[in-house]
Amino acid sequence: MASGFRGGYHGLPMADTGPLRNIVIIAHIDAGKTTVTERILYYSHREHRMGEVDLGTATMDWMPEEQRHGITITAAATTVFWRKHRIQLVDTPGHVDFTAEVERALRVLDGAVGIFCGTAGVQAQSETVWRQADRYKVPRLAFVNKLDRVGSDFFRVLESIRSRLRANAVPVQIPLGREKRFEGVIDLIERRSLRFDAETLGERVLVGDLGPCEAEECEAWRTKLLEAACEFDDQLLERYLSGQPIASAEIKAALRKGTLERRITPVLCGAALRNMGIQPLLDAVCDYLPAPEDVGFVIGTDASTKKEIQRKLSVEEPLAALAFKTALDAHGDLVYVRVYSGRLVEGGQVRNSRTGECERAQKLYFMHANHREPTSSADTGSIVAVTGFKETCTGDTLCDPKNPIFLEPPRFPDSVVSMAIEPVTIAERGKLLDALGRMVQEDPTLRLLPDKETGQVLVAGMGELHLEIVRERLEREFKLEASVGSPRVAYRQSVVRAAEAEGVFERSVGGHNLFARVRLRIEPSTAADRPEVTSNLSKEGVPLEFHPVILDAARDAAQSGGSLGFPLTQIRVSVLEAEYRSGHSTPSAYIAAVIAAFSRALEEAGVRILEPLMRFEIQVPEAYYGTVSLDLNRRRSTIQKVEVAEDIRIISGTVPLAEVFGYSNNLRSLSQGRASITLTPESYTPIPSHLRARFAQ
């Protein structure tokens, strides 16, 4: 018997077409995110062929670098239709070097599907993206993939989701068979089996009855499912306790309520590469994940009063939208925007809350990977790409000029690796700096740091692969050959103690006496990722026109790096007082006084060097566990937990980045190629005293 699971694509996605779902696909690298997405495109009739990651034919991995490396590098958006629902979907990278793509997608999307490998279960990056989703309060589904693999175990993965992610994971399906005998799934709500016809590439879903053993297992798990659902519906609980029959729609309604409250995570299963389990996953997206109206409202700040305000997610409200991604494009750079309220129209003027200026949205597009599909307007909930913006960048709020609002931007981790880069010829230096500047605008985790000693430009990123992609894109997109150095650790500096100092500038220039005096204080501030600058200046002491000059000078001094040239972090700079003399105090004099005061205060406060600490997870066969753990101990690591999964040891802990540069090759050598490592930035920590000598000037 064939099921009517097949959806359909009916032309360009219009803003008012069907109930809306905004979802993001998240997972550890190689869990199968893009393969799942490619099947979604096929079964929804969005594409008429299945793209394959390994063959470089995946629709969503459209960048040449993605096809070359076989991984997702940039988040790609598309729109599909299923059961008359419009689903706006973003496929994100699983590699930690590109975690910024996950961060900004989770900031603007309403629901998420977490993909887990049926053999590896919850992995390091799985935990990272799950915490990101927790931070943005995103309801989730879980999909256990690759259940056709040898060593796969749905129930072990289910338990790891519960224990490692602390999620109330409740299966709505269980697998039918396991490993090579995996045939399909058992639908616990409907008490039926679902098999996926291989002759139609899984397009035909065959619905069948359960055998005696399968029915017994189904009832056991269905009871657990009902008990979980009853927690969210008192009437359902009463009927369950009294033994009355419960309709499938009632179970789904209770599960949906629990999912939207983030108190339950429905779990599904399948094998995407063998075209199994995707249609029921799409059904679950429609059944359990939120529509924009379920979210209700967005919280922002009044741009003038700084008071918190709520804006209903309704087209009747004034426009409020967030620019969450910028992308370089040969046909005009794109700014990706999530519309939270109101309507964004082609050619309309919007206000940028950061700059206070108005910009015009020249053209609007719904995106299908890198393909543009024009639209004249975008209503509440829509995700569109816009051309024509001049000053808008990632994190900016776009709003109705008469109803200003400021929305919280996504937060991005600090870069931990840098490399020197310079043009092959002096004539191309300007082109190189321009290209790097555009790439930094596109990627918030990429930074440019001038090297004062060599005059080179340092490019800082999230990892070695991140910087390698930068080099490849310079060659391909900008036709620039650049000489690059080896990646190195991006160290930071902070201060040991609080200190105050005064800077005085008094000099005769061209027969005119210049004067300025500034006193400031530097102190540690562990919560500050970047230097904080505050002011105690009064208009009686110094005219207001000089206040921005003094504060900007203090901010520039703090961001220019300390005595060793490393950027400063975890510090607060307070401008305490300044002296003004009419006719003698000028902006340049105040800048010179601030620089002098900052240098003296920094010297008095004492500098400490910070190094990036990485969270690691290593999966290693039991036979090599001793060798690998001894090697980790030699690398200043802290092993925090060791788990056992059949004959595999999962070692997790922290280690300084300087100790694990290129460690993948060492690990392969120690384990005959059978171990793997994942590194995630954790924090910055002071280097040990016995290593400080290497940084002496």
For 669-691, what is each residue's pLDDT tens digit?
898 888 888 888 888 899 988 88
Note the pLDDT tens digit of each residue in 298-330: 999 987 777 899 999 999 999 999 999 999 877
pLDDT at 10: 35
Nearest 5°: phi and psi at 608? -125, 145
**Cβ pair 366, 373 in contact under 8 A:** yes
244-260 per-position pLDDT tens digit: 889 999 999 999 999 99
Percent of the chain with pLDDT over 70: 96
- Contact call for residues 523 and 561 (beta carbons, < 8 A): no
Residue closest to 95 by CA, chosen among 61, 121, 126, 119: 126
pLDDT of residue 427: 81
In this model, does residue 438 exceed pLDDT 60?
A: yes
Residue in 163, 154, 164, 159 with CA at minimum distance from that of residue 129: 164
User: Residue 367 pLDDT more than 70?
Assistant: yes
Neighbour tally for 223: CB within 10 Å:
12
Per-residue pLDDT at 296 exceeds 90: no
Cα dist. 332→76, 363, 365, 661 in Å? 17, 10, 12, 38
pLDDT confidence of residue 452: 56
- The single-letter DSSP state of residue 645 is E
DSSP assignments along 114-163, one per residue: EEEETTTBS-HHHHHHHHHHHHTT--EEEEEE-TTSTT--HHHHHHHHHH
> Of all helices (H) and strands (E), which one includes residue 100?
helix 99-108
Cβ neighbours of residue 295 closer than 8 Å, sequence gap 6 or more: 110, 313
Give Rg (Cα) of the chain.
28
Is residue 368 left, alpha or beta, with left meaning phi > 0 and alpha meaning psi from -120 to 50? beta
Percent of all residues in the chain with a pLDDT value above 90, rounded to a whole number: 61
Which residues make Cβ contacts (< 8 Å) with residue 442, sequence separation at least 6? 326, 327, 328
Q: 552: number of CA atoms within 13 Å, CB side?
A: 9
Tell whether the model's pLDDT for residue 57 goes beyond 80. Answer: yes
Tell me, what's the pLDDT at 450? 66
pLDDT (average), residues 653-668: 87
Closest CA to 573 of 601, 593, 539, 544: 601
Of 555, 430, 518, 523, which Cα lies nearest the Cα of 480?
430
Out of 6-20, 33-47, 120-134, 528-542, pick the least confident.
6-20
Average pLDDT, whole number, for the chain?
89
Residue 39 sits at the vertex; the CA angle it makes with 35 and 43, to the nearest 5 degrees, is 175
Structure tokens at 113: 């599907």
- Neighbouring residues of 438: CB distance < 8 A, sequence distance ≥ 6: 328
* Nearest to 338, CA basis, from 36, 66, 75: 75
Residue type, 157: V
Residue 9 has pLDDT above 60, yes or no: no
Q: Which of 7-21, 110-124, 596-610, 677-691 has the lowest mean pLDDT?
A: 7-21
* pLDDT for the residue 375: 95
E strands present in 369-423: 371-375, 377-378, 383-387, 397-399, 406-407, 417-423
Three-state DSSP class for 466?
helix
Sign of CA dihedral 95, 322, 263, 291: negative
| pLDDT over 50 (residue 364) | yes
Residue the block writes with tokens 């009419």: 582
Of 131-135, 139-143, 648-652, 662-666, least confident by mean pLDDT is 662-666
Query: Average pLDDT in the 555-570 region?
Result: 79
Judged by DSSP in three states, 93 sits in coil
DSSP label at residue 241: H
523 in Cβ contact with 571 (< 8 Å): yes
pLDDT at 170: 97
Contacts by 352-356, CB closer than 8 A, 24 or more apart = 352/391, 352/392, 352/396, 352/397, 352/398, 353/303, 353/396, 353/397, 353/398, 353/399, 353/404, 353/405, 353/406, 353/407, 354/395, 354/396, 354/397, 354/406, 355/391, 355/396, 356/303
599 vs 124, residue with greater confidence: 599
Alpha carbon distance 680, 91 (integer Å): 20
Q: 432, exposed or middle or buried, with CB in 10 Å at 0-12, 13-18, 19+?
A: buried
Whether residue 199 is predicted with pLDDT greater than 80 in this model: the reply is: yes
Higher pLDDT, 566 or 41: 41
Split at pLDDT 50, 70, 90, the class of 563 is low
- Pairing verdict, β 111-117 and 205-208: unpaired
Cα separation values, 242 from 234, 248, 296, Å: 12, 17, 35
Answer for the pair 277, 188: CB distance below 8 angstroms, yes or no: no
Cα 685 to Cα 27, 121, 189, 491, 606: the distances in Å are 28, 30, 50, 10, 16
Phi-psi category of 73—alpha, beta or left, where left has phi over 0 and alpha has psi -120 to 50? Answer: alpha
**pLDDT of amino acid 651:** 93
Six-digit token string for 253: 């309604």
Nearest by Cα to 110 from 254, 285, 265: 285
What pLDDT, on a 0 to 100 scale, did the predictor assign at position 454? 55
Please give the helix or strand (H or E) that residue 607 lies within, else none. strand 607-621
CB 269 within 8 A of CB 154: yes
At 453, is the pLDDT very low, low, confident or very high (cuts 50, 70, 90)? low
Q: Note if the pTM is more than 0.95.
A: no
In contact, 456 and 448? CB cutoff 8 Å: no
Confidence check: pLDDT of 11 > 80 = no
**Please, what is the end-to-end C-alpha distance for the chain in angstroms?**
77
Task: Determine phi and psi for 672, rounding to 5 degrees.
Answer: 55, 40
Instruction: Please state, in angstroms and rounded to a whole number, the distance separating the CA atoms of residues 270 and 43.
Output: 15
> Is 6 a residue whose pLDDT tops 70?
no
pLDDT in tens, 210-241: 999 999 999 999 999 999 999 999 889 998 88
Q: How many CA atoms lie within 13 A of 407 on its CB side?
A: 30
State residue 36's pLDDT score. Answer: 96
pLDDT given at position 123: 87
How far, in whole angstroms, is CA 484 from its chain's centroid? 27
- Are 130 and 163 a contacting pair, CB within 8 Å? no
pLDDT at 561: 67
